[in-house]
Structure 1
């Protein structure tokens, strides 16, 4: 069964078109990530699904039922926001159970659901603490637990890790992935972080300027990007783009090479001057200028390369991409 279907969804604020002819399907149990730069419309799209914004035109169906005129509380969804939005005067137990009390659930049901969610999220030692007594990561887990206890048809996450430091982001990301496996629930997750998208998603929806650029699994999009925008957005460091004319090839086209497909060699076809070297321990990123075009090589292991040195790069021929002047994929 399809958990969510968006058909020709458009959203405008006055004369400003924010979402333009969006068509997406989310299957039962699927983890779908909306990703794109700031201002691309991903959070607005999530709010449309939640019912916090009305569609200008098109259809929103959850579990096959038309939801255009259904209020958020009746859509069978639970939303986790970037801000934890916890009640400071309520402890963890009461924050997680409040929505169930408002629904009129029995005391037994409330206790069972809160206990189950607390165990899944390792919140049992903190169940009687108040938000001010918790770390950022713990508060975010409480917010997620508050969504879990409602047993929704669809979970919606709006950049839930943005307020966490790097270590907590990674840990919480793993917790969300484990949570998805345990619940086997349909989840939609909004982020601008392509690493989160690549590591969490069953399916990624790449958005730009209110349009869907491409939909597919993480590796489908990574290996077969539809256009230059998708190719450059997914991957860290991002794909290198250089005029094909710099290697004596077709004028007017752009050659795309991922950093991991470049390597140092004495007789390589690409000549550049090193401007910066990032020693990451297991990897070395070499940033260089090639006739006013910056390129990055991601080299496995440790390499003694210094800024200011001339270098030559080779590249894996069957791992290159070609784009026309408008950014459309050629090969």
Structure 2
């Protein structure tokens, strides 16, 4: 069954057209990530789904219900914000139960839901603490718990990990993935971080300038990007692009090569100077500059490449990508 359906959804703020003919279906139990650079419209799209912004045109269905005119509180959604949005004067238990009390749920139902959410999120020992007594990661878990107890039709996450440090982001990302498996719930997650998108999503929606560039599973988008924008956005380090005429004179197209598909070879078709080396232990990232064109290599293991060396570069054409002058994928 479809959990969410968007048909020709547009949103304008005055003369500024922010969302342009968005079409999307989210299946029940699916984890969908909206990803794209700042200003692409992903958070606005989430707010339109939530009802915090009105669509200028188009239809929004949650389950079988058309919800364009339905207020946020009655859409059957729960939203987790980047800022946590916890009430500082309420302890963890009361932050989690407030919406249920306002909905006049019984004490038995409230207690059971809080107990279950607290167990899932390892919050049982913090129920009597206040937000000021919690770490950033604990506050975010409380915000997620507050959403869980409502048992919504649809969970909406708006860049929930942006305020956390790198290690905590990874841990909380794992917790959200585990939570999705436990709840088997429909979730939509907004991020600008392609690593979060690749590691969490069943389906990724790549947005640019208010339009959907491509929809697919993480590996579908990584292996078969529709255009140069998607190819360059997904992957860390990002895909290298080089004018095809550096290899085939007169060719106006662009070649894309993943960093892991570039190798150092004395008889390679390209050559340049090593300008930067990142020793990561298990991997080594090497930046080689060809005239004014930096190229990134991702080498497995540890390597003794030195800054200032001139090296040749080789790649398997079968693993490269070709884009036309408009950035559309050719092969």
TM over 0.5: yes
Which whole-Å CA distance do the structure 2 matches of 1:164 and 1:218 have between them?
24
Kindly state the Cα deviation for residue 250 of structure 1 after the two structures are TM-superposed: 5.3
1:27 aligns with 2:5: no
Structure 2 equivalent of residue 154 of structure 1: 154
User: 1:86-235 counterparts in 2 under 5 A?
Assistant: 86-235=86-235
**CA RMSD of the aligned region, Å?**
0.7
Measured in 2, the distance between the counterparts of 1:309 and 1:49 equals 53
Count of aligned pairs between the two proteins: 331
**Deviant stretches of 4+, over 4 Å:** none
SS of the residue 1:53 aligns to: coil
Q: Which runs of 5+ in 2 are unaligned?
A: none
Q: Counterpart of 2:39?
A: 39
Secondary structure of the structure 1 residue equivalent to 2:199:
helix
> CA separation in 2, counterparts of 1:57 and 1:250?
46
In the TM superposition, residue 292 of structure 1 has moved relative to its aligned partner by: 1.4
What is the CA deviation profile of residues 279-301 of structure 1, one whole-angstrom value per residue up to 9, with x for unaligned ones?
11100000011121110000000
Q: How does 1:218-297 map to 2 (within 5 A)?
A: 218-248=218-248, 251-297=251-297
CA distance in 1, matches of 2:64, 2:306: 59
**C-alpha distance after superposition, 1:34-54 (max 9, x if no partner):** 000000000000000000000
The equivalent residue for 1:50 is 50
For residues 313 and 93 of structure 2, the distance between their equivalents in structure 1, rounded to whole angstroms, comes to 58
Q: 1:261-291 CA distances to partner (integer Å, 9 max, x unpaired)?
A: 0111121111011110011110000001112
Unaligned runs of at least 5 residues, structure 1 = none
| Distance in 2 (alpha carbons) for counterparts of 1:260 and 1:72 | 45
TM-score by length of 2: 0.99
2:321 matched to which residue of 1?
321
In the TM superposition, residue 316 of structure 1 has moved relative to its aligned partner by 2.1
User: 2:7 — aligned with what?
Assistant: 7
